[in-house]
Amino acid sequence: MFADRAKILIRSGKGGDGHVSFRRELYVPNGGPDGGDGGRGGDVIFEVDEGLNTLQDYRHRRKFAAKDGEPGGKRRCHGSDADDIVLKVPEGTVIKEADSDKVIADMSGDNRRQIILKGGRGGLGNQHFATATMQIPKYAQPGQPARELWVKLELKVIADVGLVGFPNVGKSTLLSRVTNARPKIANYHFTTLHPNLGVVDLEGANGFVIADIPGLIEGASSGVGLGHEFLRHIERTKLMIHVVDAAGSEGRDPVDDIFKINQELKEYNPEIAARPQVIAANKIDLVYTEDEENPVDRLKKEFEPKGIKVFPVSGATGQGIKELLYYVSEQLKGLEQETVVFEQEYFPEDELIYLELPYTVEKEDDMFVVEGPKIEKMLGYTNLDSEKGFAFFQKFLKDTGILDELIAAGIEEGDTVKMYGLQFDYYK
């Protein structure tokens, strides 16, 4: 079975606990604290694997957890950092937060690898807590806890062109004729149960990727039949070839078919419905028009004034297909060439902003010091070396009110801010 959806639980690794120990050597009766720091917990990383085309690996296993960091040891030994867990997915996989259905990451385009959950930072050993008044600290810092998140994985195929239309109108036959794809073809409804991709190569023109989307029916936008299963796969397409049975071999009217499918597209996503369309009036080898108006002429009369070009074609004989493909190639030139990528809507780190944890903002000499559990937690789970991590850091300072408190404390441009091991100069 074609697997294009899955729901899984991901868990980052817990940071290793700091260690409490004291130096014990011959002739050193009062050795100081020497407890080592805990190791970093493993991150949960998603990575595109070009060799995958389904989410089959996630259908029967529900939980994926990174390892925990090792605790610190005596003699200032640092606990080992845990290995990250790397989850391989096919290109086009969209990762969503399960409850809100908001996008966390779209593994498409330039995004080939992304940290979704960062592992907890290791705790400090007791060696860090010795002071002039507390020379034998008997406590160490615990590692930051693991984080869990239920996510939904949805595969949305990446193709320039989507073939849409009612079942049994000849989409798969058309795909097999113009590409190297070999979809299952038979004369009954819903032969195609998953998208088929093929590459169109044209002499003297740009080729493109085309997807045969399984047949739609009325009510598909509301989930009737397998509506939602199918419709998600046209969300990335730049242009649609609307295939209709011009011969009306199943008793349907081709003009009415176009209106009905377009209505389903509009109800599912108006943005998709507004994308360019071309009509492939298929099965013209079966058209008989002794006493009736040619259905192709009817289609042209109805849709070409609206800017939708109609091509009479036959998937069986190949008639008219070449003209259709060269027209599509020309149309694609004028459209946005980059893959449609869904923007991030859910940020797992955001919960750190709203956690009710204390912090302090104080001025010490020429430096502004910001400390407390809220700051520790944020620094432990945020990758400040990445563009997204740094953007979150700026958002954190603003939304928590820390920035306002620094201004109230008299901070000026060029002043230094210290947050534990992080130091930076303040600029508006």
Report pLDDT for 189.
Answer: 39
Report pLDDT for 338.
Answer: 66
In whole angstroms, what is the distance from residue 271 CA to residue 5 CA?
23
In whole angstroms, what is the distance from residue 232 CA to residue 304 CA?
28
| Fold match, 1-156 / 347-428 | no
Nearest to 162 by CA among 248, 46, 276: 276
- DSSP notation for 258-302: HHHHHHHHHHH-HHHHTS-EEEEEE-GGG---SSS--HHHHHHHH
Please give the CATH topology (third level) of the domain spanning 161-333.
Rossmann fold (3.40.50)
Report pLDDT for 190.
Answer: 39
Report pLDDT for 71.
Answer: 93
363: tokens are 């001025």
Domain residue limits, the chain: 1-156, 161-333, 347-428
In whole angstroms, what is the distance from residue 108 CA to residue 328 CA?
23
The order of strands in the sheet holding 85-89 is 85-89, 44-48, 113-117
Strand-strand pairing, 103-107 and 93-97: antiparallel
| Top CATH class, 347-428 | alpha beta
Q: In CATH, what number does 1-156 get?
A: 2.70.210.12
Lookup result for tokens 């640092």? 78
Report pLDDT for 194.
Answer: 55
In whole angstroms, what is the distance from residue 245 CA to residue 251 CA?
10
Q: What is the mean pLDDT of each run of 10 residues along the chain (428 residues)?
A: 76 91 72 87 93 83 93 90 94 89 88 90 85 76 88 83 80 71 41 61 82 60 46 77 81 84 81 86 76 81 90 84 88 76 79 75 85 80 74 82 86 84 80
